[in-house]
Structure 1
Amino acid sequence: MAAYQLSVNGKMYNVEAEPDTPLLWILREWLDLTGTKFGCGVNTCGACNVLIDGRALRSCQTPVRICEGRSITTIEGLSTDGSHPVQKAWEEMSVPQCGYCQPGQMIALTGLLNQTKKPSKEQIASVMSQQLCRCGTYHRIEQAVNRAIELSNQ
């Protein structure tokens, strides 16, 4: 066991864990931030995406040992009132069906928008095609992506 000080959603947390403990379990089990979902556990589906220093990463494969001193943002940390452009777009387009993958989808898009304000269709396709939705709401996700880009550039 080792002690880690983590900055999550702007708050500092002290946790003790094995160095290779996935960040996903720290967030869900230790910090009770359950918006980040367990999907596949093998870096494939994107349900566990979080932002680390503004970049979307899979928390199921990110060991806690590399997170100290970095800024971690979960879906709960985008905004508390739903005012983040991605949250607004998802709501406007009624994206969720079951909703399980949506936090990961939203974090992936936020990470892309953190890197470039007006991503190309190719950049969007590259990022969003790595996020799986078992309900198949891809048409609404695509609409929300375009709306989020509009909102974030206003």
Structure 2
Amino acid sequence: MTTPEQRLEELGLTLPEVVAPLAAYVPAVRTGNLVYTSGQLPVVQGKLAATGKLGAEVTTEQGAELARVCALNALAALKSEVGDLAKVVRVVKVVVFVASDPSFTDQPKVGNGASELLAEVLGDAGRHARSAVGVASLPLDAPVEVELIAEVA
């Protein structure tokens, strides 16, 4: 059986270092068999990959790719808490925040970037309930932010 880390390698991806918190919080918290990640921005090698609003400076396709980056960062935060992604029983819930121009309504398509990555890496354990919410702004003018809740063994 293929492990999540092997799937990441097959996808040509590596888990990044856990993104340092921007304020007074921690990247992930475990309570019982649940791990909650803090909201993860599309940070690559310590820098925000893009800024702006969906429907203005950022396209839907770019937003979906940025959501994938956020989900990868969320997996890194999750792994930092449990030590091994093979311990993930299932991703229970994902929330995708999309900084949106007032006329933008494709938040679910942006969220698919995160959802599809989780399914690619974790298989059926990566299928989850989800909300994709348009917001006026996000920290550092990020276009997308993703948080998740995972059940772990």
After TM superposition, the score normalised by the length of structure 1 is 0.29
Bigger CA radius of gyration: 1
Q: Which has the higher contact order (CA 8 A, sep 6+)?
A: 2
Structure with bigger strand share is 2
